[in-house]
Chains A and B, each alone.
Chain A
């Protein structure tokens, strides 16, 4: 399953990383997250390690989650 498929208010764990820089922000393998917002057009909003991020849909489409 990809991050982009996760509905609003769902929690999950990251299984694959996007790149080094995105991982440094906390989106690394094994990190737990909460999807705050996911509509069909705008970037996703997730909460991870107490920080809130807007993540482009193309990034979210490449991150494997569970």
Chain B
């Protein structure tokens, strides 16, 4: 079996091609640096199987960033038969720089020209056969999301040629060579770009930032309002299940309690938020795939630079609204160790979708008329805390945080249904799997502890769960939520924020509106807001702590991040609750 690896500049279409060849479903985004780890798959053509490896994008093999060093190591080890170099036709000259570097190394290479249809529309004419003759390697035209038979044919019939490219001393020499090659095989009558016209408005000094804020507001507004009817449907479905189970198993008894109060209440209370999560990811996927995310990073650069960061850091921070774990991994695209560490330690304050579920539930109970505003205020508070943390870190951490900012602004594209669908599907599955594994496990432990010792009233103060809650609740009393069930929910929330509502559901043995009523009786609006602030700031989940350890290579930093966030959560909630009381709020 041949091993082929896909190599190319960031955002050149490698992952789209990988998905197309292998039938796998990896998410693709329209911003440079989406892929930070290599992935593997297989495909078969004319009965001949091939293994495919998708490498992270790289501009340069000689001065790589961290995620690009994976590519450099892979190329130098030579554990492959063919490298397929994906070349973006819309930026052919720049893309061929990497091609020339690969040819200088004498690597078995096929050049695959992607987006050739797009560049033809722009008036560019390229003679691929002549380019192949000049480079001395096979060159095929293809569309990464369309017909790839040319490429498969070239892979099956591949014979290593010996290109006459000699090692160059500098980028200038390579670009000189590229210029002379292209002058004899390409004619370009470049038409004005639609992206330029859009940028005139979206990156304008006066209109750019207000439009950016409006887009962010729209993302969250659409997420809540459109998702609401679907949430009601899911809620109704689980209420129906609970009623049916109760009728089937009888209202009393351990088994009935296990199924209705444990499993159905626990899973139902969290899956009700699946539509919201899906709409949030839908909006994020549209922003990513359209190419707007890197423009937003550009707009944020001058603000980020005030705390010693660059616009680069903005993309991982925004991705943190979806899930903190991949967002922390996305920091690999950031140049400079200090800048990267600062961004990693700021991401946990970006309110992820798991926390969103708790925000929505509590704001609907305690602030029904202003729920969107309350949730919005929590997002803003999270951003402010992240910025303050970044500012403090810029003062404390050693090293130069002002690294060179240079970022490609990829052309705008109409979001592709497949890409958007893949992200939403992938993240929804993650959420459902989470509900079915870790959340279910925690809920079952909570149900078990609520029933022990045997014979005790379910989820009473005398149960093991009640005793645990009573033990830790004094920590939270000064913050306004010393109620033992809230303490237990926060305790389990260390594992994952998704389990918080599930734990409430299990402890009350309720779900949906009935659970809302029970929670409504345990908090005041002020103490509920204080609870949400604590939820926002303290450790997002164990997976985030683990990925901080992995990405920084330091257990100490991961532990510091967790402890700092708990201390900060307590302090901010205290100020909000006590400050609110002083102002006469309740």
Residues on A facing B (Cβ under 8 Å):
17-31, 36-37, 39, 41-43, 45, 48-56, 58-59
Contacts and interface: CB of A to CB of B under 8 A. Distances in A.
B404 A26 contact: no
B402 interface: yes
A62 B307 CA distance: 22
Given A18-B404, A25-B406, A43-B405, A50 B60 contact: no
B406 A56 contact: yes
Nearest to A24: B60
B558 to A, nearest CB: 30
B298 A24 contact: no
Given A25-B94, A50-B92, A42 B171 contact: no
Contacts of B188: 50
A27 B205 CA distance: 25
B170 A28 contact: yes
B97 A30 contact: no
Given A21-B60, A45-B203, A50-B190, 5 more contacts: A20-B171, A30-B172, A30-B176, A43-B407, A54-B311
A54 B311 CA distance: 10
Given A25-B59, A36-B196, A53 B406 contact: yes
A19 B63 contact: yes
B572 to A, nearest CB: 31
A26 B455 CA distance: 75
The 7 A-B residue pairs whose C-beta atoms are closest, nearest first, are: A56-B405, A24-B60, A23-B171, A49-B93, A21-B63, A51-B91, A28-B172
A47 B125 CA distance: 20
Contacts of B409: 45, 52-54
B513 to A, nearest CB: 49
A26 B298 contact: no
B90 A41 contact: no
A53 to B, nearest CB: 6
A29 B408 contact: no
Interface string B283-306: 000000000001001110110000
Interface in B363-418: 402, 404-409, 411
A40 to B, nearest CB: 9
B554 interface: no
B62 interface: yes
Nearest to B203: A37
B405 A55 contact: yes
Contacts of A42: 205, 298-299, 301-302
A54 B301 contact: yes
A17 B404 CA distance: 13
Interface in B406-453: 406-409, 411
A45 B175 CA distance: 21
Contacts of A58: 402, 404-405
B586 interface: no
B195 interface: yes
Interface in B196-253: 196, 199, 203, 205
B171 A50 contact: no
Interface in B298-327: 298-299, 301-302, 310-311
A59 B405 contact: yes
Contact of A43 (B91, B172, B176, B301): B301
B200 to A, nearest CB: 9
Contact of B91 (A23, A41, A49): A49
A36 B203 CA distance: 11
Nearest to B310: A56
Nearest to A30: B172
A64 to B, nearest CB: 14
B205 A39 contact: yes
9 contacts: A20-B60, A21-B59, A28-B172, A39-B205, A42-B299, A56-B310, A56-B404, A56-B405, A59-B405
A13 to B, nearest CB: 12
Given A23-B172, A26-B94, A51 B59 contact: no
Contacts of A19: 63, 404
A1 B575 CA distance: 53
Contacts of A39: 205
Nearest to B294: A54
Contact of A28 (B90, B171, B408): B171
Given A25-B59, A39-B205, A53 B171 contact: no
Nearest to B101: A24
A27 B97 CA distance: 12
B175 A26 contact: yes
B167 to A, nearest CB: 15
Contact of A54 (B59, B190, B298): B298
Contact of A24 (B63, B91, B205, B402): B63
Contacts of B60: 20-21, 24-25
Contacts of B205: 39, 42
A55 B199 CA distance: 15
A59 B403 CA distance: 9
